[in-house]
Structure 1
Amino acid sequence: MLYRVEAIVIRSTDYGEGNKIVTLFSREAGKVSVMVRGAKKMNSRYAAVVQPFTCGQFVFFKNGQMGTLNNAEIIQSYHMLREDLLMAACCSYLAELTDRLIGEQENEPYWYEQLKAAFQAMTEGKDADIIVHIYEMKMLAIAGYTPQLDQCVSCGETAGEMAFSFGLGGILCKSCRRSDPQTVPLSGAVLKLLRLFSRMDIRRLGQTDVKPETKQQLKTLLRGYMDNHLGLRLKSRNFLEQMEKYGL
């Protein structure tokens, strides 16, 4: 069957002497793997279109688990994201999250639009940390682990001081937090942002101004929560953490 899709390259792997296997995340067909013959050759017309984060129109034939590329045209190369070390690390993280949490051929146009919007927002100079955290919330929703943020997961209380429980999957009020000694204190600003992120469409994201200490709390909470519930080992996140460790 012949497919024509708009897609983003989320993974590109060498195969043999001159070929590549690319994983495309598309609007029309979800996530698919496609063989691109001759893509590693210097004069290949597909050398540019198989670069990570590239958005393009792809035509491929698929009769089984893997397709074979027939034609491709670049819509947006996002070359700026590959040339900046921090941006490349953030985009690699988003791409790897997508690859690990979305199954083959799960056709969900909304999630495709969110990834595309995340890459576009980064090219426009919007806060990469905030974009990453919003996208993390999207991926938690896909995995079925959206944290409970509107009321205490134990008693349903909606007002007052709250803490965050990784194990119980959401916020705990002051009275119930003793049920989990591992809770993390939660400032009003962080809780407000987490609630916003869970509903935010990245396509509507404007410029943001979030204090560094608030962003650090968000990072600690979301990474801790994802580790507790998803248990993913991501090379891209390890690289990001190494950059943060050395202040890059």
Structure 2
Amino acid sequence: MNKLEKQLCIVLRAVNYRDNDKILTLFSQENGKLTASARGARAMKSAIRAAAQPFCCAEYEFYQKKDRLYITNALIKQEFFNVQNDYGKFTAGCVMLEFCEKIPGEDTPGGGRLFSVLAHTLYAMEAGQAGPDEALAYFLVQAADFLGIFPALRFCAVCGAEIKNVTHWSAREGGCVCPGCAPAARSKNAPESIGRIAVLRGVRPADIRAACGNIDGTLVSTMAEYLLEAGDVKLKTMRYYQ
């Protein structure tokens, strides 16, 4: 990023700095993850105080001095009050923010789509269109696809044989496994909700309501475990969600 224009971002993390400043980790629709200084954001009369909080989605104006970005103004689009004031929605949202914070920095390939997934999923919870389990399951499935580690569903993750009836699942091996490979793969019985993974993958972020129904915490924990085993992505905030 050279000159700074306005950018639509979601605040992933806010850290207090000096007396009245904050350092923000932002997820930008155009440039992926950014770090920016919000001078005076902790002051009661600061014009950017509300825009310097996690979950806030705003159009931020920056200027760049040497290698550091500074926020000069912000036009808030959504603060996700309902998400922040419901424990289940809040902890689900925290898992989403943590995942986005773990991706590489500027110009992440596919970052624009991941931003869309995050924004629409948070809004679906905010508007009551999706519950925490439904929203987080959708997000984690999309996260696996974003990382290029989508699980094997139609073919055995070990031997490649076609699987007509899914009965075994191994996060360590990369998805569904056939009965013949199941013992060596240290598999477990596949949750009934496994069949929803392929459906969730094909749902556009703007159509997340279509993904709702027949989803519970089992699919959330299954996908979180899969991201850990297949992608080495440990989501620490999952312990609060569960």
Mark yes or no: TM-score above 0.5.
yes
Structure 1: unaligned runs, 5 residues or longer: 242-248
**Matches of 1:109 and 1:155, distance apart in 2:** 32
TM (norm. structure 2) is 0.89
Give yes or no for the alignment of 1:186 onto 2:164: no
What is the DSSP-based 3-state SS (H/G/I as helix, E as strand, rest coil) of the residue aligned with 2:164? Answer: coil
- How do 1:84-233 residues align onto structure 2 when only pairs under 5 Å count? 84-106=86-108, 108-125=111-128, 126-153=130-157, 154-180=159-185, 182-187=186-191, 189-206=192-209, 208-210=212-214, 215-233=216-234
- Alignment CA distance shift 1:161-1:234 (3 Å): closer
1:64 Cα deviation after fit: 4.8
Alpha-carbon RMSD across the aligned residues, in angstroms, is 2.0
Does the 8 Å contact 1:49/1:74 carry over to 2? yes
SS at match of 2:152: coil
Aligned-residue sequence identity (percent) comes to 22
**Any idea what SS the aligned residue of 1:49 has?**
helix
Distance in 2 (CA, whole Å) between partners of 1:148 and 1:76 is 36
Equivalent runs, 1:33-44 vs 2, <5 Å: 33-44=35-46
Q: Which runs of 4+ in 1 moved over 6 A?
A: none
User: How many residues are matched?
Assistant: 236
**Residues 134, 213 of structure 2: 8 Å contact kept:** no
Structure 2 spans left out of the alignment, 5+ residues: none
Aligned to 1:240: 241
> Structure 1 pair 7/161, CA: closer, same or farther in 2 (3 Å)?
closer
TM-superposed deviation, 1:84: 2.0
Instruction: Using structure 1 for the length normalisation, give the TM-score.
Output: 0.87
Contact 1:152 1:173 in 2 (8 A): yes
Structure 1 residue corresponding to 2:73, chosen from 42, 67, 71: 71
For residue 32 of structure 1, the aligned residue among 34, 54, 60 is 34
* CA-CA distance at 1:174 after TM superposition: 2.1
Which residue identity lines up with residue 100 of structure 1 in the other structure?
A: K
Letter in 1 for 2:222: L
Q: Which residue of 2 aligns with 1:246?
A: none
Give the 3-state SS of the residue equivalent to 2:172 in structure 1. Answer: coil
Amino acid aligned to 1:223:
A
Give the residue type in structure 2 aligned to 1:168.
Answer: E
1:94–1:14 CA distance, 2 compared to 1 (3 A):
same
Does the CA-based 8 Å contact 2:58-2:78 persist in structure 1? yes
Distance in 1, Cα, partners of 2:29 & 2:198: 27
- Matched residue of 1:197: which SS? helix
Letter in 2 for 1:66: R
SS in 2 for 1:205: helix
Q: Please say if residues 138 and 198 of structure 1, whose CA atoms lie closer than 8 Å, have aligned partners that are also in contact.
A: yes
1:201–1:53: structure 2 CA closer, same or farther, 3 Å change rule?
A: same
How many Å separate the matches in 2 of 1:42 and 1:124?
A: 29
In 2, Cα distance between the equivalents of 1:55 and 1:130? 21
For 2:102 and 2:49, the matched residues in 1 are separated by 25
TM-fit CA distance, 1:171: 0.9
